[in-house]
Amino acid sequence: MTEIRFHSVFDIIGPIMVGPSSSHTAGAARIGKVVRSIFGEQPEIVDIYLYESFAKTYRGHGTDIALVGGVLGMDPDDERLHDSLKIAHSLGIKVFFIPKKDKASHPNTVKMVLTKGDKKMSITGISIGGGNIQISELNGFKISLSMGTPTFIIVQKDVPGIIAHITEVLSKVQTNIGTMTVTRESKGEKAITIIEVDSPQINSTVKQLLQLDDIYSVNYFD
């Protein structure tokens, strides 16, 4: 049997979204939003490398405006998506689209490199159909985040004991951790923790995580 990629009826019926393509528009907006969330703040420069189908049809499908809209925090059903390139420009964000001829592991692949000052981060996302996405690379590390399961993305200071504090919060609210990825820019700087969980108590968890010392941002995706 092939890999089970779809778990919810709403992966099939939904999302409600701005047209025209669930993989090239809605999926792209979701990738952009996750990328922004992992980066943790507004970037100065966004380099967008597009592969295969994304490279060939990104303008016709609104993939460009959707990726940038996502980086600005917009959801797939946000009608401001149409104007995302203009909005990014007015915020002083420089965006570059670079269609690549290389083969990729999936026909709808995008690699985004976000830069702010000395901070640089690379994230690769794939859009697997019906608006569903996966994150396959983070700063050169291969990861596999389905983003179809409840996921917390936490940006924290790279200090001893911080991971223990985070997992303690989840433990207190009886939330089970499925997978966990921790990566950092450099020693003692910002680090990222991505946690996939089972049936979370979202509101209280996000609030409690934000109250911890040395936490910069907490985002939740379901």
Among 108, 124, 136, 151, interactor with other proteins by CB under 8 A: 108
Q: Rounded distance, CA 87 to CA 45, Å?
A: 14
For residue 99, CA distances in Å to 42, 50, 103 come to 23, 5, 12
Q: Closer to other proteins by CB, 79 or 102: give it.
A: 79
The answer to whether the peptide bond before residue 76 is cis (omega within 30 degrees of 0) is: no
Among 33, 34, 36, 52, interactor with other proteins by CB under 8 A: 52
Q: How far is the CB of 41 from other proteins (least distance, A)?
A: 29
Residue 61 found at the interface with other proteins (CB under 8 A): yes
Write phi, then psi, for 119 (nearest 5 degrees): -80, 130
Binding residues among 80-99 for other proteins as defined by CB under 8 A: 81-82, 99
Q: How far is the CB of 187 from other proteins (least distance, A)?
A: 38
Q: Pick from 49, 147, 175, 38: which is nearest to 104 by CA?
A: 49
Q: How far is the CB of 218 from other proteins (least distance, A)?
A: 20
Distance of CA 156 to the CA centre of its chain: 16
- Binding footprint of other proteins on the chain (CB under 8 A): 1-2, 4-26, 52-53, 56-57, 59-62, 77, 79, 81-82, 99, 106-108, 127-131, 198-199, 222
